[in-house]
Amino acid sequence: MSVDLDRCFASAADQAALVASGECSPLDLVELALARIEQVQPRLNCFAHVWAAEARAEARAATEALVHGAVPGPLFGVPVAVKETTQVAGRRFTVGSRTHQDVVADHDAYVTEALRRAGAIVVGATTSPEFAHTLQTDSPMWGATRNVWNPSLTPGGSSGGSATAVASGCVALAEGSDMGGSVRIPAAWSGMVGLKPGIGRIPMDVLPGLFDSISHHGPLARSVDDARLFLRCTQGPDERDILSVTTPLDLDGPSPSDVRGMRFGLSVDLGNWWVHPEVAAAVTAAATALEAAGAIVEPVDPQLGEADEFLWIQLWGVFMSGYFGHLVDEYADVMDPDVLKLIELGNSISATDYKRLEIQRTDVWRRVSGVLAGRDALLCPTMATPPPSAAKADRTRQRPPDDGRYHAEDMTGVFNLVAPCPALSVPCGVHTDAGYEGVPIGLQIVGQRWREDTVLRIGRAVELALPAVTGRRPPE
């Protein structure tokens, strides 16, 4: 069927304005989203669940509410998606795992409720690797999700379904979660905007425990202004999350973009990463563009590397063993082998050793706070390399060269170790190497604690400076 792609790729704010003006109804937008999902799902596999009947019923109810004088919220009538790791009352809650294939959520997660309170209509849940454990969105439940720019490649993970749903025009906004880059990674490789807010900015109640110190909800969006709108609608505080930040930001209106006089540190390699030359060039060019806009950019060395990444991996292993290790005895045969390895790692770490990791984590903060001292943000790549294959089974791993550099794809997990610092990925370039032509490159902007407004401001300046990069629409 024919689909109005211009309307599919309209911003969330513009879609809400169309409804508020009466130019289209919530049902019109929902039908458009469902039609687009039907078009792209066979090729990209970005949705685990599509709740068409329920979305249509909610759209009709929204239309009735307008007739009876309801004041539309900032996302009124706008179709959105949530990750399958986030609860939606009465809907399947599968977290990418056969261990949860029959689970139905009995409540809305805070973030789901907040989106609905703003008037959004949840049309489906997007794919995730099992328990959101890795940067390739490929799960035992659903198989591989594919990159909209090159379907042989992964969009990234673990919020790869959300990134692909937005990048392909199914929805203007999707929720993701970020424990080690799971919003920023697919944002970078899919050409989207992805925000890891400071911890507690968006209350998180989707995990079994409320005291996790690396986990965040965040938006996948096609623009900084839409990411800001998502944050405006979902920021706390809320009593469901004891760690939620009690002082909300003023996020009304579009994001400012003036960076004159702001100071940024620039590190292309964070101290020891091997970075693909095209990534290094694109990040450096984005920093130069910010300088041209009036910012002061200074080279810095955070001295981050493999030991810090392994620190995060140990925390992640304990997370996996603590929350999902009890499933192994019954379900090991149907679980992802990489999840089992993480659980095994977590089981090998004693409580004392886990507590000692906080000492290493403190040292990471001292290094990061050192480069942020007197500066508004740190600029660096989001991903060091282009993406690997979409399916784990097709992935080839080569022994990295013995060149003294740290060879890893992401440059994100270390910034979950300093969880109060927001980190934003925005498009800043495009790969041209054979096999990766057209695949996006992301700039990561790491800010001072709980200053999401500042990193969004810088991201908006990047968008204005690089319109040919940030305004691209993927091929059909």
- Active-site pick, 159, 182, 255, 321: 182
Q: Taken in order 408, 412, 413, 415, is the CA torsion positive or negative?
A: positive
398 near 338, Cβ under 8 Å?
Answer: no
Task: Give Dmax over CA atoms of the chain in angstroms.
Answer: 69
Nearest to 25, CA basis, from 76, 74, 73, 81: 76
User: In this structure, are residues 163 and 197 in contact, taking their beta carbons and an 8 Å threshold?
Assistant: no
DSSP string, 418-431: TTTS-EEEEEEEE-
Q: In angstroms, rounded to a whole number, what is the distance separating the alpha carbons of residues 454 and 201?
A: 14
Question: Could you give the C-alpha distances from 289 to 41, 255, 258, 466, in angstroms and in order?
Answer: 37, 18, 13, 8
- Judge whether 257 counts as a catalytic residue: no
Cα 98 from Cα 336, distance rounded (Å):
10
Phi, psi of 138 (to 5 degrees): -150, 115
- The answer to whether the beta carbons of residues 131 and 95 sit under 8 Å apart is yes
Task: Please give the Cα distance from 225 to 229 (Å, whole number).
Answer: 6
**341 carries an active-site annotation:** no
Q: Active-site residue among 158, 177, 215, 257?
A: 158
Active-site annotation holds for 223 = no
Nearest to 457 by CA among 377, 354, 397: 377
Helix (H) or strand (E) holding 11: none
Where do we find the tokens 């620039």? 266
Catalytic residue annotation? 83, 158, 182
